[in-house]
Amino acid sequence: MSAADLLERSFPGRRAELKRSVLGAALRCFNSNGIEATTIEMIRHACDTSVGAIYHHFGNKEGLVAALFFAAMSDQADLRQRYLEAAQTPRDIVNALVFSYVDWVDSQPEWARYQFNARFAVSNGPHKQELADRNRLRNKQVQEWFSRPGVGELLKHFPLEVVPSLIIGSAESYCRAWLSGRVKQSPGTHRQILADAAWRSLQSA
């Protein structure tokens, strides 16, 4: 699956064609040069448009960084929701959360690499409140799934804010290692092992 597919899902239609072009160029530049080193001029040159057009759609470089980050975050959330809708038991829910995370990284390595690299910039920039709100909503949705009848007992010993780390922590660590080239096998190869580790972490209380 190409990086352009995610942009098409996030910004569909002919009217968003320029926006997709700018974002695609920005993604490539940020991943190749780093977020700090990339300039608006580099992005303008890569997508062959004007600086004015970039500023019109995104305001500034921070706006571009955030637009890409939130597009990735939303796409990942959509996949997670589809997996969760098929879950029935507490273990199904844990599997859905881990599998959706791993499968998304596996299919979108360019976006996942960017997301890891951009998190600090977004969380400390002008869009940090939006990120905090999105994270809060994600955590609330996970809590709602685990609060369903017959499921809620699983998390009663844990503060809500640590639950995502308990479930996704091992998967995130492996995904980072894969994206950086420190391990060779794709995350999807080990998705069940990572899901089993997440399940055991919740059973330990």
Q: Around Cβ 74, how many Cβ atoms within 10 Å?
A: 13
| Residue 103 and residue 191 in contact, taking contact as beta carbons nearer than 8 Å | yes
User: Nearest Cα to 175, choosing from 164, 163, 162, 189?
Assistant: 189
Model confidence over 160-195: pLDDT tens digits? 778 888 899 999 999 999 999 999 999 999 999 999
DSSP string covering 69-132: HHHHHHHHHHHHHHHHHT--SHHHHHHHHHHHHHHHHHH-HHHHHHHHHHHHHHHTSTTHHHHH
Q: Which CATH code fits 3-203?
A: 1.10.357.10
In this prediction, residue 158 carries a pLDDT of 79
Model confidence over 47-62: pLDDT tens digits? 999 999 999 999 999 9
Kindly list the domain boundaries of the chain, sorted by start residue: 3-203
* pTM (predicted TM-score): 0.92
